[in-house]
Structure 1
Amino acid sequence: MNHTVLAFDETVRQRSSVRAFLPTPLSDAQIRAVLQDAQYSPSNCNTQPWHVHVVSGETKTRLGKLMTANDLAGVQTPDFSFSYEDFHGEYFDRAHEQARIYYEALGIARDDKICRKEAYLRNYQFFNAPHAAFLFMPSFGDNIRVASDIGMYAQSFLLSLTARGFAGIPQTLLGFHADMIRKELGVSSDYRLLFGISFGYADTTAPSAQVRMPRIPVEQSVVMHG
């Protein structure tokens, strides 16, 4: 078991969205340690609304095949909307730059639709990660506050992975097949699926492992008063 835990400043800077994993599984104790860290996340009125289903082995493989089949058939049932067309201005520019950097790292040309589709479908293979966590939430009001609580939980989860020498990636796409995921995992329709996190040990030899997405200066997103 990995007993080395990074300091916070190292952890938050080393965390990245890893898109290539080794097949080596984490132990039950290692996964539980990460889950225990994430359990201390803040939430509105201490509601702690996260409902997390961790999948591994045959269950994970089956879900990946079912999501791939759905996607290829043009079937998606997300509980929450998502479209790149909703981005605008500088936000669209950052999303476009992220895609450019990633595909260039993979050596995939912009007009190579076949290879881009193959790279896209690797989301459903969890980028070879041995585990994935599906983050469900109850529905309260317009769901904004609940979703923000899930986001804080996810960040705690991801930082704990990094601090303990593991890696993860939050994947919006894993939330695009909510009906099927609920059915396969026996989750009540009272819970909505926001997204999933693939996790395990990073494959540091993969081309995508060399990718570090840029961050804008603090001055571009923060205004100091007083």
Structure 2
Amino acid sequence: MMDQSQSFHDLVRRRQSVRQFLAQPLEATQIKAVLEDAQRAPSNCNTQPWHVHVVSGATRASLTQVLIEQAEKASYSPDFSWDETAFPGRLDERRRAQGKAYYEALGIAREDKAGRHEAILRNLDFFGAPHAAFLFMPSVGDGVRVAADIGMYAQTFLLSLTARGYAGIPQTLLGLFADPIREHLGIPDEMKLLFGISFGYADPTALSVAPMPRAAIGDSSVMHV
């Protein structure tokens, strides 16, 4: 039991949001193994509401072009509202600290609008990852419960990638282009896009961004006895 606990302790700390990947794709069997792990995620009443579409190869390349075209026109179609400036207090402080650390690692100054724009577009090329998984969900009530299930699926997916020596990054930005992604992949309108995960092999030559600090347990948890 001690060995298993230590392994999990190490695993969750090895997982990082990677923003530069090798072009080398995973084999279909490797992707299937990750999907099988993620399928073990818990869900309300075992509904397993996730609908996951993985793009690779030519489909991935053509979708990137579609997304960049939409971004250049500022044509967004999120299924769920999003305002990154609406986080209160400490949450906004953490958001700003992450952005500052990332752009500093890239050597992009705050006033460099062109550089920042190019950095944002790298999201839509999946940071060079050969694969991306789009997490869709059905509309049930206000969607919060189903979205929570999708979150548990995504974390299981990401931990499976890490455990197998791969890497991934969840991307909210991909969820802002729900309509063109649905159209490109032939997905019905009733399936709503929450976000995507780019994944593959991490590029060991990528610029290093120090792991972002985590809040103290006392800031987020209360023990009642």
TM range (shorter): over 0.9
Show the counterpart of 1:3: none
1:34 counterpart SS class: helix
RMSD of aligned residue pairs (Cα, Å): 1.0
Q: In structure 2, what residue type is equivalent to 1:74? A: A
Distance 1:162 1:210 in 2: 17
Task: Work out the percentage of aligned pairs sharing the same amino acid.
Answer: 60
**2:101, 2:209 within 8 Å by CA — same for their partners in 1?**
no
Show the counterpart of 1:34: 34
The C-alpha deviation readout for 1:71-121, integer Å capped at 9, x for no partner, is: 101101010111122111111110000000101111111111111111011
Distance 1:34 1:211 in 2: 26
TM-score (norm: length of structure 1): 0.95
**1:7, 1:163 within 8 Å by CA — same for their partners in 2?**
no
Q: Which moved more, 1:159-168 or 1:105-114?
A: 105-114
Distance 1:21 1:85 in 2: 29
Show the counterpart of 2:219: 220
Distance 1:142 1:66 in 2: 29
The C-alpha deviation readout for 1:22-74, integer Å capped at 9, x for no partner, is: 00100111101100000000001110000000000110111111011001011
1:205 Cα offset (Å): 1.2
Show the counterpart of 2:104: 104
Q: Please list every run of at least 4 consecutive aligned residues from structure 1 whose deviation after the TM superposition is greater than 6 angstroms.
A: none
1:140/1:76 CA distance change after superposition, 3 Å: same
TM-score (norm: length of structure 2): 0.96
Matching of residues 64-103 of structure 1 within 5 Å: 64-103=64-103
Matching of residues 17-28 of structure 1 within 5 Å: 17-28=17-28
**1:55, 1:132 within 8 Å by CA — same for their partners in 2?**
yes
Q: Paired residues, what number?
A: 220
The C-alpha deviation readout for 1:120-148, integer Å capped at 9, x for no partner, is: 11000100000000000000000000000
Stretches of structure 1 that go unaligned for 5 or more consecutive residues are 1-5
Stretches of structure 2 that go unaligned for 5 or more consecutive residues are 1-5
Distance 1:63 1:38 in 2: 24
1:55 and 2:67 aligned: no
Distance 2:191 2:210 in 1: 35
